[in-house]
């Protein structure tokens, strides 16, 4: 478990005199500093936000200062999956930046999709490696368990993306006493959501009525100035497919309507870092990172 910075005198074996201390090099005016949490904070991450984050950040203007307009953060959990490219295509068509909370297991299975998410200008988030709920983990979400899950996922994402992951979302929005201190010690803010679309709970095939339900649920955020909308581009929970389907085609179908709805209401789409918009696509034949 990562601890707060602690400096303490060195523990010395019993000795008979200062002369012996000097002879062994152990008599010194310095103190021994235990490795601290700050040494594990990824370079490039801001100070983690206190508590749980339920609001989208304000958009950053050209000077880097926050602007007063309404913002919305679209977030996608449980990928990457075969539906991620279709989600990316919709976001690219509208020039909308989003945040993808990926599981380490799915990143290891689809590393090219993680690279593509970043190359197209989106933000990565850490969604643990195995996506286990606390009740399914022996001993629950202890600090040691969470640190291992977050470190493993973060290392892989950084190797693929070339940058640190500064935000995490706990599977199912679950909490434990160790969650905030462990995530913060690793440099990550803990992000929840303010608008749940329940897109994960739909049928295993296209359904016009379910697409409408997703859009209707997303519209709740129009009553907020800075909503965070929860959507899914994959399935990482462990229920059988007969209980929770991995089909996310209805999310893909609902996404253009959700974007247009927020655009009409005057919202700016932001990643959880406050940046908006997407970079220009690379010219044909030019490889992206």
Q: Which two tokens stand for residue 128?
A: 């643990």
State the catalytic residue, choosing from 77, 78, 199, 233.
77
State the catalytic residue, choosing from 106, 122, 184, 232.
232
SS (H, E, C) 123-161: EEEECCCCCCCHHHCCCCCCHHHHHHHHHHHHHHHHHHH
Give the containing element (helix H, strand E) for 114: helix 111-119
Tally Cβ neighbours within 10 Å of residue 76. 31
Tally Cβ neighbours within 10 Å of residue 171. 21
Catalytic residue status for 199: no
Q: Give the residue among 166, 179, 180, 184 at the shortest CA–CA distance from 43.
A: 166
Phi-psi region of 253 (alpha: psi -120 to 50; beta: other; left: phi over 0): alpha
Question: 134: Cβ–Cβ under 8 A, 6 or more apart, which residues?
Answer: 140, 141, 174, 176
Catalytic residue status for 232: yes
Q: What is the CA radius of gyration of the chain?
A: 22
Residue with the two structure tokens 């090099």? 25
Provide the annotated active-site residues: 77, 232
């Amino acid at each position: 478990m990562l601890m707060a910075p602690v400096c303490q005198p060195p523990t010395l074996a019993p000795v008979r005199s200062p002369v012996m201390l000097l002879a062994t090099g152990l008599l010194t005016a310095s103190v021994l500093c235990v490795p601290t949490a700050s040494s594990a904070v990824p370079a490039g991450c801001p100070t983690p936000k206190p508590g749980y984050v339920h609001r989208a950040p304000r958009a950053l203007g050209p000077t880097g200062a926050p602007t007063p307009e309404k913002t919305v953060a679209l977030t996608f959990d449980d990928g990457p999956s075969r539906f991620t490219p279709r989600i990316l295509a919709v976001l690219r068509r509208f020039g909308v930046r989003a945040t993808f909370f990926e599981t380490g297991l799915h990143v290891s299975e689809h590393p090219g999709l993680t690279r593509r998410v970043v190359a197209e200008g989106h933000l990565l988030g850490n969604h643990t490696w195995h996506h286990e709920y606390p009740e399914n983990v022996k001993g629950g979400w202890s600090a040691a368990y969470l640190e291992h899950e977050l470190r493993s996922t973060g290392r892989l994402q950084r190797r693929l993306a070339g940058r640190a992951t500064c935000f995490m979302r706990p599977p199912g929005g679950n909490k434990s006493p160790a969650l905030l201190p462990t995530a913060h010690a690793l440099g990550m803010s803990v992000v929840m959501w303010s608008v749940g679309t329940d897109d994960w709970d739909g049928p295993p095939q296209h359904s016009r009525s379910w697409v409408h339900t997703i859009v209707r649920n997303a519209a709740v955020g129009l009553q907020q100035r800075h909503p965070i909308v929860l959507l899914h581009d994959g399935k990482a929970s462990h229920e059988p497919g007969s209980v929770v389907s991995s089909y996310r085609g209805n999310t893909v179908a609902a996404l253009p309507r959700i974007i247009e709805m927020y655009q009409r209401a005057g919202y700016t789409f932001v990643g959880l870092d406050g940046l908006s918009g997407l970079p220009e696509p690379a010219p044909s034949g030019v490889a992206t990172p």
